[in-house]
Structure 1
Amino acid sequence: MIKLAYFYLTIIAMALMVSCNKQTPSKKVPAPPPTEDKEDPPPPPPPPVVPTSLIYQKTDGSLGYNYYANQGETNKVNLIPDFSMAGYKGGGVAIPHSVAIKKTLSPLSGDNRSQIQQAIDEVSALTPDANGIRGVIALLGGVYEVSDRLNINHSGVILRGIGQGADGTVLKATKKEQHTLINIAGTATSQSGSTINITTPYVGTGSKGFRVANVSGIAQGDRIVVERTPNQAWIDDLDMAQYGWTTDYYVVQYERKVVAVTEDSITLDAPVVDPIQVKYGGGKVYTFNPTGRITNCGIENLRLTSVYDNDDDENHGWIGIELREAENCWVRGVTCQYFGYSAVTLNTGAKNNTVEECAMLDPKSVTTGARKYSFNINGTACLNLIQRCFTRGGRHDYVTGAKVPGPNVFLDCVATKTYNDIGPHHRWATGLLFDNIVGDEIRVRNRGASGTGHGWAGAQTLFYNCTSLSKTIVVESPKGALNWGIGCKGLGRSGAGFWESWNVPVQPRSLYLAQLKDRLGSQAVSNIATQAQLSGAISGMLTAWAGEGSFN
């Protein structure tokens, strides 16, 4: 019995051991993550910053532009225009320096007009070289009394002295009547093609092309006039009828060159600087042939003075130098003193000319309207550059007249002891750039009944990095157009035009030079700018120079 009981107990114990050794199935447990450190993935890049400025610098240094709507409008189809085609031979081309001397003169006792005019006529009769230049008339140092106007009416004639200081070459205007001392003038141009309607409903500022009714008779390379033909609705919206504005008078012609033609469109070398809208009358184009215009004439290294009886004398030298129907010409290194109206006036048909390192000092006339316009762009003059100039005692020192078509550029100029404002003076001058101008009153505005009923003085006028030393800068904008004050400094500002970066200059320092670099490259800038301009030290140098002696 005992043995049998032991046997059964052994069997039970073995069964229990087998049962305890069996494992209950369970869910699979994931392996723990590795213990080594890992960097967090980089955050997504921030969205690109969208510039809001009308002009801005890209990361590569070139310029970018944003579209805008004009005053009273909502359609953003306009751009600040490219001004860089202004200047000798379309901008970025150096003025000739190494030109052969064909005649050399010394001052005579008494009147020198005859000997200087005879030399001009003799050089005018020479055959021009491959660059269209006939030669230089060299005036040695001293004082040349000149009894009446000197006329240059043929291409390629250069009148050059030894310097613009009082000890240089001085031409003294002795005639006791209002007159121009040096006149560079060709003859008027004429239309050579029929008018063709522009069919694009709205051609915005800054545009270089548009559709036309037909392109028959228009070819690449043609000179062309873009004519803006306003209607009464435009005058009414501006409220200018009260000042005698009429549709016929405000037809404005813009001279351009055709660079491309398609089946219904043309592309131009320079931009539109005043919107052309069907609702405001639209516009037309026609080709023309400026056969009478003269080119490649220059006035250099002279001091021009005038006799006068007293500070208010009105009967003496009035304009130092005037250009009319003259293209690709220049005035450089000329100081004008005591003239009643201007140092240099660029008038009708003056295109792609450069005026640089010139001065207007101490004008003598009554200080009132139509006097003391130191550097003046008038008539149909377009695509001109006035740079590195200085004035003392003027009224409207850097100024335009009625209906002047742009682009035109004033760059790096200084005005001192001024009696009135810098800017478009009256009656709808368009496409103006005042780039780094230093003076007192700087204004673009509705002049209302001033003068003969000037009304809106200008449209598409840009004051860029300009400085008013003691006055308020005014920027007002007419309906359907826009004026700008960008990077300007002054005692204060007024007007409901476009303002940006008040009292904080913007980059690039010069818009004209930056646009020129974008279009033609750095060498084009080097060809026409000085190191002081590139460094931003030019205004101090001009003030210290004040038109006495050579600038460089």
Structure 2
Amino acid sequence: MKKVLIFILIFTFLPVININAEEGIIFEASFEEGLTGWKYATSVSAENTKITDSCATDGSKSVYIFDKGEGVSSGITGSMTEITPGEVYTASADSYVVDGTVKLFFKYFDKNSQQLTNKSMGSKPGKWENITVSYEAPENAKYCAVVLCSINAFSGKAYFDNVKIYKGEVSPKEISGSVPKGEEDLTNASYTIPALKTYSNKDAKLLYFEGFEDGYEEWGYHNNSLKDWVSLSNEKAYEGKNSVFITDQSSEKASGIKSPYIEIEEGRLYTSVLYMWGINNTSVKMFVKFFDSQGKNLSSNSFAGKRNEQWELISAVVTAPKGAKTCQIFIAGVSVSTGDAYVDSVSLYEGIYRAEQTPDIYIPPVQAVPVDAKIIAPVNNKLVYSEYNAEGDKLSDFSYAGFYGGDYELPVTANLPVVETLSPSGKDDTNRLQEAIDKWERKDGVINVIKLKAGIYNISSKGIKVKSGVLLSGEGQGPTGTVLYAYTPQQYIPVKIAGDEPSGEGGKALIQDEYLKAGSRTVTLKEEDIKNFKPGDKIAIIHNSTEEWAKAIKMVGVINVYDNDTTWTPGSVNMIAERVITGIKGNTITLDFAVFVPHIKELVPSYITKINDDNRVRNAGIENLRIVSYYNGSEADEEHATSAISVTNAENIFIRDISSKYFYSSLISSGKRAKKVTARNCSSLEPVSQITGSRRYSFASSTSAQQILYTGCYSYDGRHDFEASFSVTGPISYVDNVVDSSNTGSETHGTWSTGVLFDNIYHIGNDTKGYMAMALRGRTGTKLSQGWTSATGVMWNCLASTIIVNKPPLTYQNFSVGMWGQYRDTFAKAMKDKNIQSNKSGYRTGESLEHTEENFATDEFTSFVGDAYKESPYTPVNPRSLYKAQLSERYTGVISNAKPNAPVMVYPKPDSFTEKNSITVSGLYQLGAEKVIVYIDNLPYEAKLNSATNEFSLDVSLEDGVHKIYITQVIDGVEGNKNADRFITVKEEKGNPDYLQSIYPSYITSMLINDIRPTYDSVINSVKVTVNGENLISDVRPVVTDGRTLVPMRAIFEKIGASVVWDDAVKTATAKMGETEIKITQNKKEAYVNGNIYMLDVPATVLDGRFVVPARFIAESFGCTVEWEDSSKTVKIYK
């Protein structure tokens, strides 16, 4: 019995019914040791929960929970406790409610931790009461748990103590306790900030080692009937001469060995290590099992390798569960699979031990000479778009993705105002960062820089919200730079860029086109509707799913893996595609860029509506820093931050040169109504989670996101490393990105993602599970089938062992165009077979449970698989990058100004640590490259090229400390784009010199040569010109002379739609549009409109080699309307 501290006693007399079941306690918590065994129930719980000694019923401490009534509940959840179905259990807690509603919830869960039932009980305010909830565990229940929590809709304050779960029915008891002593202070209430650890092997203690040099007599057999399938072998050994060979020849039984029992202590972390040489995609795994004093198995964790035919480290950190006394290491196959393996050097450590990584054997892909593409063909330095069906559908322009839709390059930070400089406090930095952001928010287009000095900034579960006009700029993304540390041990997002959702204005205008073609920029409306719109209007094209449409694409009656109906019901799969009206003629409106999928009127009555998006966050960014999540040391820990950055209801956002580490899901997730977002040269490193569904989506786009660009990025050990899901509407452009050691597919993941481009995505190594897909996944999805994951999705010059693309019904289509290279080794071929089989099992519609051979058609000389449009399945195509070619043509008039992509760096891995001063940088270059340049701490080194394999390498000696590496390649005399910065540490981390900064001039990061686009910083305070809502972009910026705005002649005439002729002899431009002709002469105030003289306030002149003319005179002469917006310094022209 704990010592009881009582200030004022309050007695509550309640009848006691049934039994006193103290003997039947299966869970108990009194908070004397804090919140051990509990986790926070919501994202705001940490700052609204604390352990307090102001009152208690048993001992000196209780837990205090506070809910401000802001719509998000606060509370804590107890650990999952095993139960028996059909038995009655009781949850009990002592509760003191100060005011409002805070309750005890008692929940049952199935074996997958899915909630089955939930019952709750509260108490009256102003006194201690023992409250109980008793009821029977349902048939398929496996666990139960207690939740102490408020309710979303209500505020409340309450204390809880002495929480228990009993087997059996127990009634409330008579209790007493001390009353609270005034209002609780919640400042940093609930825990001490855990240190951002760099784990040292010196802290780990070796408990057990077996190298099998003298056999394995101490070990037992996993299955005594299969002893002959285990043997001592001297054919291979990681260390010494011997290893154990395990063969698993049966898909019904499993062979293997198990270690002796090893004594351990409950609650401690342990690291299990072994080295495995897998054969034939082996099913052999490492299992770590814990047992109580009676030998009962309390938990089992399994860990598999990824490699074949090479030694691979398999290491796992696990926590010994409550009641554990011993553990065993099992090395065995699984009953449903086969495969062989050699195993050596098995260890168990108390604590966290980082074992030596085994270098991967990388077999480079075979590259071929490119051919010209046909679906979008390079002809005379332009792009020619071909129809891909009888209805005349064409592909659209993916280069409208990214910051300002490509109109502006990202800003140069040195040219932006630094309004505040912060340094780490050593305490919680959440509020001070948010206060600075709130203080410097700007909504007029200006971007203010908040400079974050190097060091660790502690971010609680409250997180920070970046607002309009704010750039968080760090001092390096390396380990010694600026680090945002998400330290709370619960699931949350530390950095959000989130505004308010755009709203509709006015009514719906039904689209009148019977078949609106993919690739079309014009839409027909009714005569009575067209008058409600004008050029420059922001609109949304709405395509809501109907029963007729769902039937037509076979998504009615789809049965998932759980035998549930996951039909696409009316209104469940909706497309929202935003556009700007750039012209109106008769009943037809013209859009700023084309639609990506056809709209079929007889199936869906699509419509347009004007939108108001004034409350989006705009012109904000994060750069040159690292974001790191806490985790408890176990690679499977999931009680920590999920995504580093989320973007919703925001526009014109940039995330550049960011490294994230240890997150559960994403570096960046662009979600609901996120628009015009660029993530450039970012790296997602070492995610921490179980390797299973809904995790490790490194670079994600979802819901109604559009115009998203992720380029030059790197993902390590992800699952769906680059993915789009739900009804994104494009363009979603993934360009020149590297996927390293993936666990599954980069893909359109589910439910009708449209307008998605995978452009030069490189999967390494050759034998990983990573692949690419735009597939039918009808069998997956719990409530709504993932179904047709994509329409008008494009794979362009990608690299992976497997690229699976399926064709949706009707006139919808997906595309595989060009293969960057092919992995032809046996490991990659075996992985291709496995990926095909896996996707075959998910192929299902409402009309058929089976696939046909055509659905997965392929051959041994290509990675292409499927029944969608295929082109050049054995070679890459020109243009090498579709996105860059489209961008180049839009802004320079030709496609040849697209820069080459970056080469692929394979080694060293990011954040590598080495005791040696000599390192080798190596990887792949594109066939035809003349040179690979390796930049180390910003100094260039030329790498050696192996023309037989298209591999590069550089051997170099480095001083002790942290170093930064990036690479480029030179093709046709042009140095291409850089990859994401990579950091390595030689012997020790020390200092943060300037060369570790990730700040680069635009001529290095731009995707184009001869790029006329200005950087955003150069246009913030200068005059801008728009025509029907589109920016006027030219190599010469508009200027103001004597109060008049002068713009480049050819740019303004072509934007308005006029033809222009220049007579150099008399320095006169003649422009015509319709019945109107304008003549304007250099340095003369006299101008002519249809022969009539007009006197100009300011004459046309030559500026930086360009003839510039008065914008208002030109526009009004051609019948346009001209407006001046002072807040943004913009001349707005409407024609």
CA distance in 1, matches of 2:591, 2:510: 16
User: What is the CA–CA distance in structure 1 between the aligned matches of 2:733 and 2:547, rounded to whole Å?
Assistant: 30
Larger RCO (CA under 8 A, 6+ residues apart): 1
Give the deviation of 1:530 after TM superposition: 7.8
Letter of the structure 1 residue corresponding to residue 690 of structure 2: V
C-alpha distance after superposition, 1:309-332 (max 9, x if no partner): 111111111110111111011100
TM-score by length of 2: 0.42
Q: Which residue of 2 aligns with 1:114?
A: 431
Give the drift of 1:522. 6.8
**What amino acid maps onto 2:777 in structure 1?**
R
Q: 1:276-303: per-residue Cα shift (whole Å, max 9, x none)?
A: 0123224111111112111100101010
Distance in 2, matches of 1:344 and 1:544, equals 15
The offset of 1:546, in angstroms, is 4.3
1:233 has 2:565 as partner: no
Residue 391 of structure 1 aligns to a residue in which SS?
strand
Alignment of 1:142-161 (within 5 A): 142-152=455-465, 154-161=467-474
Instruction: Tell me the amino acid that sits aligned with residue 349 of structure 1.
Output: R
**If each structure's strand is expressed as a fraction of its own residues, which one has the higher value?**
2
Q: In the alignment, which of 433, 437, 449 is matched to residue 779 of structure 2? A: 449
Give 1:141's aligned amino acid: A
Offset of residue 542 of structure 1: 7.0
- Residue-by-residue CA offset, 1:349-376 (whole Å, 9 max, x unaligned): 2111111011111111111111110000
Residue in 2 that maps onto 1:20: none
Of 591, 610, 635, the residue aligned with 1:311 is 635
Change in Cα spacing, 1:547 to 1:178, as seen in structure 2 (3 Å) is farther
Q: Does 1:291 align with 2:601?
A: no
Instruction: Give 1:247 deviation, angstroms.
Output: 2.4
Q: In structure 2, how many angstroms separate the alpha carbons of the residues matched to 1:348 and 1:367?
A: 26
The CA deviation at 1:80 is: 1.1
TM-score by length of 1: 0.84
Equivalent position to 1:58, from 369, 372, 379: 379
- Which residue of the partner structure matches residue 394 of structure 2? 79
Residue in 1 that maps onto 2:506: 193
Cα distance, 1:149 vs structure 2: 4.0
Contact preservation (8 Å) 1:390, 1:542: no
Question: Which position in structure 2 is the counterpart of 1:465?
Answer: 797
CA deviations on 1:84-128 (whole Å, 9 max, x unpaired) are 11111111411111211011011122322232222212212xx56
Q: Give 3-state SS (helix, strand or coil) of 1:84's partner.
A: helix
Cα distance in 2 between the residues matched to 1:191 and 1:267: 20
Shift of 1:230: 3.8
Query: Aligned pair in 2 of structure 1 residues 133, 150: CA closer, same or farther (>3 Å)?
Result: farther
Residue pairs, 1:374-523, within 5 angstroms: 374-439=698-763, 440-452=770-782, 453-468=785-800, 471-480=801-810, 481-488=812-819, 489-491=821-823, 492-521=863-892
Does structure 1 residue 99 correspond to structure 2 residue 470?
Answer: no
CA offsets 1:53-110 (integer angstroms, 9 cap, x no match): 2111112x111111111xxxxx241111111111111114111112110110111223
Equivalent residue for 1:371, pick from 695, 703, 713: 695
Which residues in structure 2 correspond to 1:192-231 (within 5 Å)?
192-213=505-526, 214-231=529-546
User: The residue matched to 1:329 in structure 2 has which SS?
Assistant: strand
Q: 1:529 to 1:353 in 2, by over 3 A?
A: farther
Q: Does the CA-based 8 Å contact 1:353-1:384 persist in structure 2?
A: yes
Tell me, what secondary structure is at the counterpart of 2:754? strand
CA separation of 1:506/1:368 partners in 2, compared to 1, >3 Å: closer, same or farther? Answer: same
Report how far residue 228 of structure 1 moved. Answer: 1.6
Q: What's the counterpart of residue 165 of structure 1?
A: 478
Letter matched to residue 609 of structure 2: Y
Residue 296 of structure 1: SS of its match in structure 2?
strand
Deviation, structure 1 residue 144: 1.8
Q: What amino acid is aligned across from residue 119 of structure 1 in structure 2?
A: A
Segments ≥4 residues shifted beyond 6 Å: 522-526, 528-531, 533-544
Q: What is the aligned-residue identity percentage?
A: 32
| Count of paired positions | 489
Contact 1:389 1:542 in 2 (8 A): no
For the Cα contact (< 8 Å) 1:430–1:459, is it kept in 2? yes
Q: Which runs of 5+ in 1 are unaligned?
A: 1-50, 70-74
Q: Which whole-Å CA distance do the structure 1 matches of 2:466 and 2:440 have between them?
A: 11
- Structure 2 vs 1, CA of residues 544 and 410 (structure 1 numbering), >3 Å: closer, same or farther? closer
Does residue 354 of the first structure (1) align with residue 667 of the second (2)? Answer: no
C-alpha contact 1:92 1:524 (8 A) present in aligned 2: no
**Cα distance change of structure 1 residues 194 and 544 upon mapping to structure 2, 3 Å threshold:** closer
Distance 1:429 1:205 in 2: 15
Aligned partners of 1:523, 1:102: CA distance in 2, in Å?
Answer: 41
**When you count helix as a share of all residues, which structure comes out higher?**
1
Structure 1 window deviating more from structure 2 (175-184 vs 482-491): it is: 482-491
Distance in 1 between residues matched to 2:818 and 2:407, nearest whole Å: 24
Output the CA distance in 1 between the equivalents of 2:900 and 2:637: 38
Matching residue of 1:8: none
Change (3 A) 1:274 1:244: same
What is aligned with 2:590? 267
Q: Which whole-Å CA distance do the structure 2 matches of 1:383 and 1:466 have between them?
A: 21
Change (3 A) 1:457 1:219: same
Distance 1:154 1:523 in 2: 37
Cα deviation, residue 233, structure 1: 3.0
TM-fit CA distance, 1:216: 1.9
CA distance in 2, matches of 1:226, 1:128: 26
Q: Structure 1 residues 210 and 134 mapped into 2: Cα distance closer, same or farther (>3 Å)? A: closer
* In 1: Cα distance, 2:878 partner to 2:394 partner: 18
The Cα shift of 1:454 comes to 1.0
Task: Give the alignment partner of residue 123 of structure 1, picking from 440, 443, 454.
Answer: 440
Structure number with greater Rg is 1
Q: 1:114 to 1:524 in 2, by over 3 A?
A: farther
Report the Cα distance in structure 2 between the residues aligned to 1:81 and 1:190, rounded to whole angstroms: 27
| In structure 1, distance between residues paired with 2:436 and 2:543 | 43
Match of 1:24 in 2: none
Instruction: Classify 1:449/1:319 alpha carbon distance in 2 versus 1 (closer, same or farther; 3 Å).
Output: same
What is the identity, as a one-letter code, of the residue corresponding to 1:88?
F
**Pair 1:174 & 2:474 matched:** no
Q: Report the 3-state secondary structure (helix = DSSP H, G, I; strand = E; otherwise coil) of the residue aligned with 2:440.
A: helix
Instruction: Tell me whether 227-236 or 406-415 shows the greater mean CA deviation.
Output: 227-236
SS of equivalent residue, structure 2 residue 387: coil
- Residues 108-117 or 368-377, more deviating: 108-117
3-state SS in 2 of match to 1:352: strand
* Counterpart position of 2:568: 245
Q: Secondary structure at the match of 1:302?
A: strand
Q: In the alignment, is the contact (CA less than 8 A) between 1:383 and 1:406 conserved in 2?
A: yes
Contact 1:358 1:547 in 2 (8 A): no
Residues 372-420 of structure 1: per-residue CA shift (max 9 Å, x gap): 1000001211011111000001000110111111111011000111011
CA 505–531 in structure 1, closer or farther in 2 if over 3 Å, else same: closer
Secondary structure in structure 2 of the residue aligned to 1:422: strand
Gaps in structure 2 of 5+ consecutive residues? 1-371, 559-565, 764-769, 824-862, 904-925, 933-966, 970-976, 985-995, 1001-1135
CA 1:220/1:299 → structure 2, altered by over 3 Å: closer, same or farther? same
Where does residue 1071 of structure 2 map in the other structure? Answer: none
Equivalent residue of 1:394, what SS?
Answer: coil
CA contact (8 A) 1:229 1:251 kept: yes
Change over 3 Å in CA distance of 1:547–1:204 after alignment to 2: farther
Shift of 1:529: 6.4
* SS of equivalent to 1:319: coil
